[in-house]
């Protein structure tokens, strides 16, 4: 498959252009030639030297990641920045990145993957960001408890054996769940507004403790990396359906 065709297909599926003014990440093809062929695609959460080197060792033509290299551009490509990019350029490895578009995709996205783990029903977009959404919410098939929901997250997410932390300020029974993966505690007010009993995200902020306490909502902190493996894995399945060879590389951070 031509690289340009590969990029166009992903951009269309993920609606990359719709997030252009909302995301600090330069989504889409971040590194790559104008022309090229793609037969083997690697996938990883983070676009870093470790995953670049593993993709090169696997003889991949392109690497698709959730977190990329460019968050507003580079001042200089020197030092550590040069060392990180060098494996891509030396080996003609293209880098495709999808940050918020992959968070917000209601079928292939990270929040959708967490909702799948919890078997949530009556799902709807959640996590407003301008005209778009970066999360999902839904209703539990049966009311759950803090311990029950925590156990399901720990068994269904790649937490590396680390416990899921919980700010326990919500009701005894959890029915309505809101999800924004990664760093999503800024959407606590929206979770309260939609009547959520719990907000699931990756990592917290200091102010989230008192905001959750005052709102009467549980906040589950399941790990930034752990909550954001779903999107790239779903894209891997999609790309395999296009007839391309794929690989997936785990580089968990424990954060």
Q: List the binding residues for a divalent metal cation.
A: 66-67, 103, 224, 228
Q: Which strands make up the sheet holding 62-67, listed edge to edge? A: 28-31, 94-97, 62-67, 40-46, 245-248
How far from the centroid of its chain's Cα atoms is residue 77's Cα? 26
Residue 43 and residue 102: Cα distance in Å, rounded? 13
Q: Please say whether the beta carbons of 14 and 219 come within 8 A.
A: no
In terms of residues, how long is the chain? 255
Which residues does the annotation place in the binding site? Answer: 66-67, 103, 224, 228
Token reading at 225:
């990396």
Angstrom distances, CA of residue 116 to CA of 99, 108, 139, 162, 183: 20, 10, 12, 21, 19
């Amino acid at each position: 498959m031509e690289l340009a065709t590969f990029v166009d297909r992903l951009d269309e599926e993920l609606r990359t252009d719709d997030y252009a003014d909302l995301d600090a990440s330069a989504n889409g093809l971040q590194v790559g030639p104008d022309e090229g062929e793609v037969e083997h695609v690697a996938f990883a959460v983070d676009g870093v030297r470790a995953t670049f080197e593993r993709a090169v060792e696997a003889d991949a033509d392109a690497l698709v990641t959730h977190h990329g290299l460019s968050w507003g551009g580079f001042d200089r490509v020197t030092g550590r920045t040069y060392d990180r990019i060098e494996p891509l350029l030396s080996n003609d490895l293209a880098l495709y990145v999808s940050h918020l578009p992959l968070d917000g995709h209601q079928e292939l996205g990270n929040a959708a993957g967490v909702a799948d783990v919890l078997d949530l029903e009556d799902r709807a977009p959640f996590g407003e960001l301008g005209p778009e959404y970066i999360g999902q919410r839904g209703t539990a098939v049966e009311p759950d408890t803090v311990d029950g929901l925590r156990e399901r997250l720990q068994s269904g997410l790649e937490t590396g054996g680390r416990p899921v932390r919980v700010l326990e300020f919500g009701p005894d029974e959890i029915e309505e769940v809101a999800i924004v993966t990664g760093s999503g505690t800024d959407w606590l007010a929206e979770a309260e507004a939609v009547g959520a009993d719990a907000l699931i995200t990756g990592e917290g902020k200091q102010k989230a403790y008192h905001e959750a306490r005052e709102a009467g909502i549980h906040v589950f902190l399941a790990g930034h990396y752990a909550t954001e493996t779903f999107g790239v894995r779903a894209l891997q399945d999609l790309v395999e359906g296009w007839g391309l060879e794929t690989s997936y590389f785990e580089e968990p951070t424990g954060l």
